[in-house]
Amino acid sequence: MADLDLSAQFGKISERAIIASGKVKAARQSTGDQLESDVNSARDRASAAADQFKDKPAAAGDKASSHWQEMRDKWHVHVATARAYAREKKAESDADVAALDADLAESDALDAIDFAQAAIDEAESLVLAAMYARANAIALNS
């Protein structure tokens, strides 16, 4: 893969983050029904992304790819578990339970944000390492 392609792929991270940030900011003004619709839409997009992430094939014998496949699998299980919990709790209407559910949802959101930030740092490191490896290979072939 060429350096330009890696740079473009990395750039998509900030583009997606800007769009998502705008949606989150706009949600502050939304009603309960609109928020529920937004949650369902975001969940569908996240499910599609998680499925794509899970289904990405790893190169045979590649330890790094194997590691990322393991991370994909764990993330997919986490997402499925969180969604099952959310569906289970949705039917409960007690105010105390709802407040606890909100606390748990906020905690999960903060964990996901932390994970995303760590993933961005790791992606940056791997993109730069790949660019360095490509430059080194070109230099050695010269």
- Per-residue pLDDT of 60-117, as tens digits, reads 446 666 777 787 788 878 878 877 777 776 655 577 778 888 899 899 899 989 999 9
CA distances from 97 to 78, 109, 118 (A): 22, 18, 31
Is the pLDDT at 126 greater than 70? The verdict is: yes
Please report the pLDDT score of residue 52 as a whole number. Answer: 76
Tell me which DSSP letter residue 78 carries.
Answer: H
Please give the residue range of the domain that contains residue 16: 3-141
Burial readout 113-141 (b: 16 or more C-beta within 10 A, e: otherwise): eeeeeeeeeeeeeebeeebeeeeeeeeee
- Per-residue pLDDT of 19-33, as tens digits, reads 999 999 999 898 888
Q: Which residue has the higher pLDDT, 64 or 123?
A: 123
Please report the pLDDT score of residue 142 as a whole number. Answer: 84
Q: Which of 48-62, 91-105, 124-138 has the lowest mean pLDDT?
A: 48-62
The upper half-sphere exposure of residue 92, i.e. CA atoms within 13 Å in the direction of its Cβ, equals 14
Please report the pLDDT score of residue 62 as a whole number. Answer: 60
Q: Alpha-carbon dihedral of residues 68, 73, 75, 77, nearest 10 degrees?
A: -170
Please report the pLDDT score of residue 3 as a whole number. Answer: 58
The token duo for 68 is 């990322």
Domain count, the chain: 1
Cα 108–Cα 69–Cα 53 angle in degrees, nearest 5: 60
Please report the pLDDT score of residue 139 as a whole number. Answer: 94
Please report the pLDDT score of residue 60 as a whole number. Answer: 47
Please report the pLDDT score of residue 93 as a whole number. Answer: 59
Please report the pLDDT score of residue 63 as a whole number. Answer: 62
